[in-house]
Amino acid sequence: MAFIALSAILEHVLVTCAQAYPRLARASSEAPHHLGAIRDWRLDVLLAVASERGWITLTKADFPYRVRHYRDYVTPAHELREGDALDDALIRDT
C-alpha cells in the first residue's frame, strides 16, 4: 500500500512538473513523441525524462530523503516535529 501511495505521489509530481515545463519535457530524448498529452505518459517515461532534465536524481543515496520529503504531504510527521507541542500553556490558551 505504501509503495502504491508513494508511486502515485511521485507520478503526480512528475506530471505536474512536465506540464509546467512542456517544452523542456518534450525536448527530452526520452519523451514519447507519439503521445500527444503529457498526462498520458507512463511513470517509467516520466522518470526517464525527469532524470535527463535534471529534475530528479535516481541515485540510491538520495532515495530515502526524497521519500521523506514527499511523505510529509501524506502524513503530518513534519508538522508534528516542527509544530507547536501540546504543553500546558498551549492547552490553557486553546
Phi/psi of residue 9, nearest 5 degrees: -65, -45
What is the predicted pLDDT for the residue at 82?
A: 65
**Cα pseudo-dihedral 43, 45, 48, 54, rounded to 10:** -80
CB atoms within 10 A of CB 45: 19
Is residue 54 within 8 A of residue 60, CB to CB? The reply is no
What is the predicted pLDDT for the residue at 32?
A: 85
Per-residue pLDDT of the chain (94 residues; tens, 9 = 90+): 777 887 888 888 888 888 888 888 988 888 887 767 888 888 888 888 988 888 887 676 776 776 676 666 666 655 666 666 667 777 777 6
Is residue 56 within 8 A of residue 28, CB to CB? The reply is no
Question: Which residue in 38, 33, 45 sits closest to 21, CA to CA?
Answer: 38
Q: How far apart are CA 85 and CA 7, in angstroms?
A: 32
What is the predicted pLDDT for the residue at 7?
A: 80
What is the predicted pLDDT for the residue at 78?
A: 57
What is the predicted pLDDT for the residue at 84?
A: 61
Q: How far apart are CA 27 and CA 35, in angstroms?
A: 13
